[in-house]
């Protein structure tokens, strides 16, 4: 079906309001990929003044970051879909979108490969002390500071996946070559995870029995600070925790206390409760933590997948079909 509508006097084309927060590689790519004759209007959310007329006239909101100001949502009176290029949607006031009956779709797993790969990178970097090894080598300290540290293998370990969605199951796929025992917990059973020999268990069992725990859940009321003193106390003292989903799922104060007292062995974190990370965050000073600036999902290969999925999904809605990947 053609992706336009007509009335008696003119052809009506979709108006897409693209919300950015500064310049990103996605910006120019989006301009190139957009369907011919679609109106693409860009608003930088960092600006203090936003043209409400542009918002009211838009058919779709397209967001790179998954963060949309309440002011924009409240004026989105004709929006048929909020389409995200991100997997996360915790930057959107769901009460407003629910009250206005505006559906939201994420990127459909378009960034699952880079996030899963980076999860594997954090796992290996944490258990093999790669950051310390790099720093020491640059200083001419030939492994001297690492002699007292135990370096562990991923091979044969037990890995617990909290959240077996598109990213979590992609991690499970990548673990196949390491001969690991894989546990997972989720609100639903994942046939794909179980076909890969992952065993569904309670979160308590997973925490108690895993050597490595990796988080892949959305951040909402049900998952807010789900990793806290109580859950950390269930973990092995030799275990590590990896987070590439959202910082808010971990209580960082509780995590810090467990790391400095060796109640758990280490952590690999790409996301934080406050972003950019506060320079006073005590996690910065720990050498049993590997830190990254929330860029697990950023890869040049994933950008076209995100944008193509976004426009394909908006076309579906414009043509009267149901959107994919609703959150």
Considering the candidates 94, 128, 294, 316, report the single residue annotated as catalytic: 294
What 8-state DSSP symbol labels residue 247?
Answer: G
**Among 171, 145, 147, which Cα is nearest to 160's?**
171
Alpha helices in the chain (DSSP H): 25-33, 52-57, 70-74, 94-99, 112-127, 130-138, 166-174, 191-195, 203-209, 229-234, 252-260, 302-318
In 196-301, which residue ranges form alpha helices assigned H by DSSP? 203-209, 229-234, 252-260
How far is it, in rounded angstroms, from Cα 96 to Cα 99?
5
Contact in structure between 268 and 122 (CB atoms under 8 Å) = yes
In the sheet that holds 289-291, the strands lie side by side as 199-200, 181-185, 158-162, 212-215, 240-243, 266-269, 289-291
Could you say which of 28, 71, 204, 275 is catalytic?
275
CB atoms within 10 A of CB 126: 23
Q: Which one is catalytic: 246, 258, 265, 306?
A: 246
Active site residue 71: no
Helix, strand and coil in the chain, % to nearest 5: 35, 20, 45
Q: Which of 12, 9, 14 is nearest to 315 (CA)?
A: 14
Beta partners for 82? 61, 104
Tell me, yes or no, if 275 is annotated catalytic.
yes
The structure tokens 């990548």 sit at 174
Catalytic residues: 246, 275, 294
């Amino acid at each position: 079906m053609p992706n336009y509508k007509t009335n008696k006097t003119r052809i009506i084309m979709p108006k897409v309001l693209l919300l950015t927060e500064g310049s990103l590689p996605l910006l120019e790519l989006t301009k190139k990929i957009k369907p011919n004759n679609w109106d693409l209007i860009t608003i930088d959310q960092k600006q203090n003044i936003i043209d409400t007329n542009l918002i009211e006239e838009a058919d779709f909101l397209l967001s790179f970051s998954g963060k949309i100001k309440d002011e924009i949502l409240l004026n989105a009176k004709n929006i048929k879909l909020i389409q995200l290029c991100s997997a996360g949607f915790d930057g959107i006031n769901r009460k407003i979108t629910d009250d206005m009956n505006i559906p939201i779709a994420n990127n459909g797993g378009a960034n699952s490969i880079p996030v899963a790969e980076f999860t594997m990178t954090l796992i290996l970097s944490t258990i093999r002390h790669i950051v310390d090894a790099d720093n020491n080598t640059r200083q001419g300290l030939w492994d001297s500071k690492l002699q007292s540290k135990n370096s562990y293998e991923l091979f044969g370990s037990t890995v617990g996946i909290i959240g077996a969605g598109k990213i979590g199951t992609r991690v499970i796929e990548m673990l196949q070559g390491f001969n690991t025992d894989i546990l997972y917990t989720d609100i639903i059973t994942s046939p794909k995870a179980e076909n890969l020999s992952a065993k569904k268990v309670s979160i308590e069992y997973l925490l108690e029995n895993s050597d490595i725990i990796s988080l892949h859940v959305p951040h909402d009321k049900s998952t807010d600070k789900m990793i806290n003193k109580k859950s950390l106390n269930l973990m092995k003292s030799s275990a590590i925790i990896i987070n590439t989903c959202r910082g808010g799922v971990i209580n960082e104060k509780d995590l810090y206390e467990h790391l400095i007292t060796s109640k758990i062995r280490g952590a690999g974190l790409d996301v934080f409760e406050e972003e950019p990370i506060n320079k006073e965050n005590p996690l910065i000073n720990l050498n049993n933590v590997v830190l990254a600036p929330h860029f697990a999902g950023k890869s040049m290969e994933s950008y076209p997948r995100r944008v193509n999925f976004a426009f394909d999904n908006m076309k579906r809605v414009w043509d009267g079909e149901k959107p994919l990947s609703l959150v």
